[in-house]
Structure 1
Amino acid sequence: MTQLPPHLLHIVVHSPALDGSRRVTERGVLLGVASHLDDVFEILRFVGLDRFQVEECDFISWQGGGPAEWPGITADNRMSAGSAFTGISDSRRR
């Protein structure tokens, strides 16, 4: 993705899915899927944003709750969500 000046960005953190994960898009292009707030920071770092800007900017739209809203996410299913991205099942991790 070409880095744009912050005033040209329109990032959406979508409503949580059933597992609590949230899609992060920029003008309809999927940047990644976050299972917790740290994932959002990593995804947004890709477009050149740091933690301070993310928490106080007006070009990020949080749908279905703000940065503190991660319904359905627990320590146990964070590991499961991570497994979906790496292709490693929980049974292989043990």
Structure 2
Amino acid sequence: MATARIIVHPPLGTGGRRVTVRGRILGLAYSDGDVLEFLRRAGLPDTEELLDNPSWVKWRGGRPHHYEAA
């Protein structure tokens, strides 16, 4: 896979991170559990190991797994 399918965008000023898959917004995540639930609903693998796999998930801005306000 050339690029990650799942993008976890930078933390917002109010907290939380937008999550998209191929440009489609899945929701606003406030925890890894939220991201996993979005993936499950989208029919994608929802294992925690997936979140640290750069061929699947790209964390933009901020630290991975960090959801607090920027």
User: TM-score surpassing 0.5?
Assistant: yes
Q: TM-score band (shorter)?
A: 0.7 to 0.9
Higher helix share: 1
Higher relative contact order (CA 8 A, sep 6+): 2
User: Between Structure 1 and Structure 2, whose CA radius of gyration is higher?
Assistant: 1
What percent of counterpart residues are identical? 35
TM-score (norm 1): 0.57
Higher strand share: 2
In structure 1, list runs of 5 or more residues that go unmatched: 1-6, 73-94
The secondary structure found in structure 2 opposite 1:31 is strand
Residue 21 of structure 2: aligned partner:
26
Structure 1's consecutive aligned runs of 4 or more residues displaced over 3 angstroms after TM superposition are none
Q: Quick check: 1:14–1:62 contact (8 Å CA) kept in 2? A: yes
Alignment of 1:59-74 (within 5 A): 59-72=56-69
In structure 2, list runs of 5 or more residues that go unmatched: none
Alignment of 1:53-92 (within 5 A): 53-72=50-69
Tell me how far 1:36 sits from its aligned partner: 1.7
TM-score (norm 2): 0.72
Residue 43 of structure 1: aligned partner:
38
